[in-house]
Structure formats: structure tokens, C-alpha cells
């Protein structure tokens, strides 16, 4: 699964350029680097509006349009590639409401239960990771729509499999446009985009246990920790 991730870019203009959206898409007062994004928190998703990419604020944890409340949001932070076109919670969004979730890393945990250490998976060059996602709009109140999203996961590649058996689907630049394309596309063709990232595309860094608490969201979360041969952190 993917239960925490990061987007640490300080320069929102550069981030907007890389995403192919206008810098005005990021609210100047709301945007900030994020080092420990957790379920139920607000982030950003990118979708295709006509022929242009559009960036919108959204809350992590998909709530279906027909839902009476948000109780299932936490259970729906991830959707499995294998069943995303079949499960009622995701089937309609898979057909019509696909998005990309911008990030530059994600976390999994390793080590004994008494000393779990966060492992940050990221590109060696610090570049963007574009997660495949789905979005829905629901109404907490009749006149207050809220956009929510889920991140799609696939089997882990070799690097991530050392820690966990699932990972977020990371789309390359060519796949992004196909994924966001609003026109008709066969289910099999669309699902073919949802594959594990190449093994060489990610590196793993053991980082601070500050990540264990959702209250911590600063650069210190990514402080590299020395590790032992068994992958646990050195004292």
C-alpha cells in the first residue's frame, strides 16, 4: 500500500513547469513543501480538462459521490490495480475520473515491531513521481463539494519488495497523457499502464522516525539514518 508520501519542492513555479500547469494552479498561500503527507490530509491532483492539464486541491481518501458520510475514506486511500475496474467504489472513477497525484517519494516501514523505521523511496535525482489515481466529488453539505482521491497500487518492484509487497503506480511522461485522456479506451489498454516502476528508477533511504507521527511534517523527517545489515536503524 501507500500510506504516506512527500512532495518537497520549494519552488512552486518549477513544480508547475514540470507538471505542465500554470503556476496559478498552486495557491501561493496554501502551497508549501510537504515531508509527511498522511491520509485525510489535503494535497493536489492533476486531471485533464478538455485538452489542458488542470491541478486541483483534494483530500486523500476517496469518498464516493453517493456516500452519506466519509467513514470509508481511510479504507479507500489506495485502490488495487487488479480490481480497480471491478469494485463498485472505484469502477466509475476508473472509467471517467482518472487523475495523477504529484509526489517525489513515498514511505514504507521495516525492522522489528518495537523499532519500526521509515524507508523513503524516491528518485536518485530528486525528481517528480507521478502516481496514478482516481478522484470523486462528494458533498459533506449540500452546497459544499469536496474533491477526494485514491492512489492506485501494484505489485512492488525489486527495490520496494525488500520492505513491502505493494507500491504506488508511478506513471512515466508518456503514460500520463494516456492515463488522463478523457476519450474512450479499452479497459485492458488502460490497465496496461498500471505496472510497477522499473527497478532502477527508485532508491531507498532510511529516514527519521519522526515520520511515524503524522504531526511531524518538516525537513527533519527526511534526515538520513545509519542502518545495520538487517536494515534496521543503528543506535
- Cα-based torsion angle of the residue sequence 220, 226, 230, 232 in order, rounded to the nearest 10 degrees: -30
- Multiple choice CATH, 5-222, 3.40.50.10280, 3.90.1680.10, 3.40.50.300, 3.30.465.10: 3.90.1680.10
- 221 among known catalytic residues: no
Instruction: Choose the catalytic residue: 24, 28, 108, 200.
Output: 108
Report strand pairing: 78-80 vs 203-206.
unpaired
Residue reference for cell 492515463: 179
The predicted pLDDT at position 229 comes to 42
The predicted pLDDT at position 228 comes to 45
- 108 among known catalytic residues: yes
CB-based contact 188:147 (threshold 8 Å): no
Closest-CA residue to 208 (of 27, 31, 35): 35
**In 68-196, alpha helices (H):** 88-96, 158-161, 173-180, 187-191
Handedness of CA 165, 169, 174, 179 (dihedral sign): positive
Question: Which 3 state secondary structure label does DSSP give 180?
Answer: helix
Q: Parse the chain into domains and list their residue ranges.
A: 5-222
Chain CA centroid to CA 87, Å: 20
Closest-CA residue to 149 (of 32, 30, 47): 47
Max CA separation in the chain (angstroms): 55
The CA distance from 78 to 81, in Å, is: 10
Spell out the per-residue pLDDT of the chain, length 235, in tens: 789 999 999 999 999 999 999 888 887 778 899 999 999 999 999 999 888 899 999 999 999 999 888 999 999 999 999 999 999 999 999 999 999 999 999 999 998 888 899 999 999 999 999 999 999 999 988 888 999 999 999 999 999 999 999 999 999 988 999 999 887 788 999 999 999 999 999 999 999 999 999 999 999 999 999 764 444 555 4
The predicted pLDDT at position 51 comes to 81
Question: Which 3 state secondary structure label does DSSP give 24?
Answer: helix
**CA dist 183 → 6, 40, 68 (Å):** 31, 30, 30
Per-position DSSP letters for 137-182, written without gaps between them: EEEEETTEEEEEEEEEEEE--HHHHTT-SEEE-B--HHHHHHHH--
Contacts 24+ apart (CB under 8 A), 27-34: 27/57, 30/57, 33/7, 33/8, 33/9, 33/219, 34/6, 34/7, 34/8, 34/217
Instruction: Choose the catalytic residue: 2, 99, 136, 221.
Output: 2
Amino acid at each position: 500500500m501507500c500510506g504516506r508520501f512527500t512532495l518537497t519542492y520549494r519552488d512552486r513555479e518549477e513544480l508547475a513547469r514540470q507538471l505542465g500547469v500554470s503556476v496559478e494552479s498552486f495557491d501561493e498561500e496554501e502551497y508549501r513543501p510537504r515531508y509527511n503527507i498522511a491520509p485525510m490530509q489535503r494535497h493536489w491532483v492533476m486531471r485533464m480538462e478538455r485538452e489542458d492539464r488542470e491541478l486541483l486541491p483534494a483530500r486523500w481518501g476517496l469518498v464516493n459521490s453517493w456516500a452519506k458520510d466519509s467513514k470509508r475514506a481511510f479504507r479507500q486511500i489506495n485502490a488495487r490495480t487488479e480490481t480497480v475496474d471491478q469494485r463498485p467504489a472505484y469502477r466509475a472513477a476508473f472509467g471517467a475520473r482518472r487523475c495523477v497525484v504529484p509526489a517525489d517519494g513515498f514511505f514504507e516501514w521495516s525492522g522489528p515491531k518495537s523499532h519500526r523505521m521509515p524507508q523513503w523511496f524516491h528518485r536518485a535525482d530528486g525528481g517528480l513521481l507521478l502516481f496514478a489515481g482516481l478522484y470523486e466529488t462528494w458533498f459533506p453539505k449540500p452546497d459544499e463539494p469536496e474533491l477526494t482521491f485514491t492512489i492506485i497500487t501494484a505489485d512492488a518492484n525489486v527495490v520496494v519488495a525488500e520492505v513491502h509487497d505493494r507500491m504506488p503506480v508511478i506513471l512515466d511522461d508518456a503514460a500520463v497523457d494516456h492515463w488522463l485522456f478523457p476519450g474512450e479506451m479499452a479497459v485492458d489498454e488502460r490497465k496496461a499502464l498500471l505496472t510497477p516502476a522499473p527497478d532502477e528508477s527508485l532508491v531507498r533511504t532510511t529516514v527519521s522516525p519522526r515520520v511515524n507521527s503524522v504531526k511531524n511534517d518538516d525537513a527533519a523527517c527526511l534526515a538520513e539514518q545509519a542502518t545495520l545489515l538487517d536494515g534496521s536503524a543503528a543506535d
